[in-house]
Amino acid sequence: MNLVECPEFQAWVLYGCRNISDKDLPHRTALTNLIYEGYLKDHEQTRKDLQMALGRVSFTSDIWSDPKLTPFMALTAHLCARNEAGHLEITQRLLVFCLVEDSHDGENLGQMMYDIIKETSDWCDSQGCIPVIYG
């Protein structure tokens, strides 16, 4: 059973928030839709940020394993752009947080990063994002 539909969880939420009723609690599909809408909004903002980048975009990566030794990778883009007020702003955007499939040796990780950066470069115009791709 989904947590938000669990009667004990609903009772706990209602106990802690006296000013709401059962009808105010979101259904799991409503939460799924809200999360997906947030993802789409953030994805579009990332695209815009990369298109508006001034100069080159730098990338950093972090790779680690959980207690069960399952490997994960995050890849972040760092860039400089003008904000809505026209001021220069240094910002970063998380491009991916993913499970590392197969071996997490240099060749596999390098290919994963290359594929992500290659896809990201398709979002950018010739004036903005200029990722350096070695291959």
Output the CA angle 121-125-126, nearest 5 degrees: 100
- Verify that 11 and 72 share a domain, yes or no: no
Rounded average pLDDT over 38-60: 86
Same domain, 24 and 13: yes
How far apart are the C-alpha atoms of 13 and 18, rounded to whole Å?
9
- pLDDT tens, 23-45? 777 777 777 888 889 988 988 88
pTM (global) more than 0.75 = no
pLDDT digits (tens, 9 = 90+) for 59-115: 889 988 899 998 899 999 899 988 889 899 998 989 888 888 888 788 888 888 888
Residue pair 98/88 in contact (Cβ under 8 Å)? The answer is: no
25 and 80 in a single domain? The answer is: no
- Residue pair 75/95 in contact (Cβ under 8 Å)? The answer is yes
Residue 132 structural domain: 52-135
The pLDDT score that the predictor gives to residue 122 is 65
Residues 98 and 124 in one domain: yes
Q: Residue 1: pLDDT band by 50, 70, 90 thresholds? A: very low
Cα–Cα dist 52/49, whole Å: 5
- Is a pLDDT exceeding 60 seen at residue 131? no
Task: Count up the domains in the chain and report the number.
Answer: 2
45, 61: one domain = no
3-class secondary-structure state, position 73: strand
Q: What is the pLDDT of residue 9?
A: 77
Domain shared by 67 and 117, yes or no: yes
Residues 7 and 71 in one domain: no
Residue 130 has pLDDT above 60, yes or no: no
State the number of CA atoms in the 13 A half-sphere of 82 facing the CB: 5
Q: What is the pLDDT of residue 3?
A: 67
Measured CA to CA in angstroms, residue 44 lies from 18, 50, 94, 101 at distances of 37, 10, 13, 27
Same domain, 58 and 121: yes
Could you tell me if 21 and 71 lie in one domain?
no
